[in-house]
Structure 1
Amino acid sequence: MRLSTVILPVRRWAEGGRQQWTHAEELGFHAAYTYDHLSWREPFRDRTWFGALPTLTAAACATERIRLGTMVTSPNFRHPVTLAKELISLDDVSGGRITLGVGAGGTGFDATTLLREGEEPWSARERADRLGEFVPLLDRLLTEDAVTEEGRYYVANGARNIPGCVQRPRLPFAVAATGPRGMRLAARYGQAWVTTGDPKVSQDGTPEESLAALRNQSQRLEETCRELGRDPAALDRVMLWGFTPDGPPTSVDHFVDFAGRHRDLGFTELVLHAPIPDSRFAMDQELFDRIAVEAPAQLG
């Protein structure tokens, strides 16, 4: 099982931001991701919050080996044509170390920032509809030199994307999904599937109920892959820790136990948030570092 981290873009680059990314590489994490939002929920709503892609570009210049990516990007404020251009540039700057985490987005601040007064936020169905158009078009934009396509939500008119990605045929997609439509996108276009668990269980459930919900999600993903003629083993499974009923890790052994139980469900990558004081991601920095260094050897 690979171990990765999420570094939220809440620090100025010269005041600890750069050091977080270089430290993640020094600790040996497989990948370091960041959230792609305009702002996020409390307590971050009225605090420092930088853009994901410029942050990743700076991180790419400050590091050499660690993979980098979004966790996750959504159509809430992105357009496939402009996003593709930025991703190709970022993949080039990083030397082919970029993964695009992508999902339908939620109902938070990103979903309303670009709306006119009186406009209703997109429903869950519309977010799924948009993602269903967003991902296939982005796939084309990242693999073809020129793309023309007109959909219900997105248009590309002779969009040029030369020279394309360093990674071929394109940079990998990690598709966040829990519903059937999203899982079909993951099975068809993804190199990885991402989940945070079952939101209903996360609020009121137990760790055992969370494991059962994740087992059910994994089984549905496997069934979807088989329906589409894809080997389920060809799709990595990524678990973003921080939203299940288990709470933050209290020791290396606690983390290894949690990770081992999820590895047994078929998860290939576990993503741990870098510590942020006074938030749901508060955690002792020394313990975080010890987990990064000691846990991979115990997990195998």
Structure 2
Amino acid sequence: MTSPLRLSTVILPIHRWHDGGRARWQRAEELGFHAAYTYDHLAWRSFRDGPWFGAVPTLTAAASATSRLRLGTLVTSPNFRHPVTLAKELITLDDVSEGRITLGIGAGGIGFDASTLRAPDAEPWTPKERADRFAEFVTLLDQLLREPADLSYAGEFYTATEARNLPGCVQRERLPFAVAATGPRGLRLAARLGQAWVTTGNPKLYESGTPEESVEALRGQIGGLAKACDEAGRDVAELDKVLLTGFTPDFHPVARSGRRPIDSLDGFVDFAGRHAELGFNEIALHWPIPDSDFAADEKLFERIATEAVSQL
């Protein structure tokens, strides 16, 4: 049985904490969002030349400024993280938030995060190596968070020697993983270790696809997740299914219909309803950012936050 649809938001870490940063996280809680996430990047696309703050310190501050809102990353990746140090930070963050943290985690991609820590002439990771690293990264991180004392591990890419993460997570057995994946290997990883699954849709459709094609692509991804869960001996209904919006054709700044789902309350209700029927039970909207792909009317955004779910 599909759980009721929840709305969440994504607040990019581009604002100084005392100049609008804190206010947005507090407002997200006031508006009743289920969760507020942030990107875990060193920089990102068009925002590279402006302010961009660290995800973990931002979430720690947000945890202290709120009391009910779930918090998390969408998403963390192996591009510049190591499971041992990340586990320590997550346990601390889970403690500060009193158990309100979800770790969104993905394989990462090419770009700033993938190259910043590497030599200029270093070869980029192949798709296979990226998938291999991701699987090992999530597997080790799962163990580190579940087994807080003296864990040793020797893998192809990562090593841990008597790693200690006492007292462990507030959330038992560990904080939840929301695994971002679309391919078979990633979906199998989500089925094995995830408490939620995250997708942005099919990126190949963003520029030239249609909303109808996007819905069919998402239907296929959910079917792949169900197959992976069946192979893992798990009920797919156990996993929350999260759609991170902004990357499907209907959200393109020059949408073919002329209007995006966030351009009207009725438009968003229709969009959310179609995706809830697919099986999604959480939709994450980016907090409006002027002069960007995430530009939107903030008053309408707040109406969507407070009124949309009741109309579904």
| Same-fold status (TM-score > 0.5) | yes
Is 1:149 the counterpart of 2:153? The answer is yes
Gaps of 5+ in 2: 252-259
What's the counterpart of residue 254 of structure 2? none
Deviation (angstroms), 1:117: 2.4
Deviations 1:32-67 (A, max 9, x none): 00000000001x011000000000000000000000
Contact 1:237/1:268 (<8 A) preserved = yes
Partners of 2:304 and 2:270 in 1: CA distance: 12
| Matching residue of 1:105 | 108
Say whether 1:203 aligns with 2:216. no
User: Which residue type is aligned with residue 246 of structure 1?
Assistant: D
Q: Does 1:225 align with 2:225?
A: no
Q: Percent identity?
A: 69
Q: Kindly indicate whether the alpha-carbon contact (under 8 Å) linking 1:75 and 1:104 is maintained by their aligned counterparts in 2.
A: yes
**Aligned partners of 2:177 and 2:52: how far apart in 1?**
24
In structure 1, the residue corresponding to 2:179 is in which secondary structure? strand
1:168-188 Cα deviation digits (max 9, x unpaired): 000000000001110011000
- Residue identity opposite 2:79 in structure 1: N
Deviation per CA, 1:45-95: give whole Å up to 9, x if none: 110000000000000000000000000000000000000000000000000
Distance in 2, matches of 1:269 and 1:117, equals 39
TM-score normalised according to structure 2 size: 0.95
Q: Residue 283 of structure 1: which of 271, 276, 296 is its match?
A: 296
Deviation string, structure 1 residues 217-266 (Cα, Å, up to 9, x no partner):
00011011001100010011000010000024111110010000000000
Task: Specify the code of the residue in structure 1 equivalent to 2:64.
Answer: C
Measured in 2, the distance between the counterparts of 1:81 and 1:181 equals 23
* 1:267-298 Cα shifts (integer Å, max 9, x gaps): 01000000000100000000000000001211
Amino acid at match of 1:104: A
Number of residue-to-residue matches in the alignment: 298
Q: Tell me, in whole angstroms, the C-alpha distance in 2 between the residues paired with 1:117 and 1:298.
A: 52
**How far apart, in 1, do the equivalents of 2:285 and 2:8 lie?**
6
Moved over 2 A (4+): none
- Structure 2 SS opposite 1:246: helix
The one-letter code of the counterpart of 1:30 is: H
Which residue of structure 1 lines up, in the alignment, with residue 18 of structure 2?
14
Partner residue in 2 for 1:130: 133
1:267 aligns with 2:280: yes
Of 245, 249, 260, 1:245 maps to 249
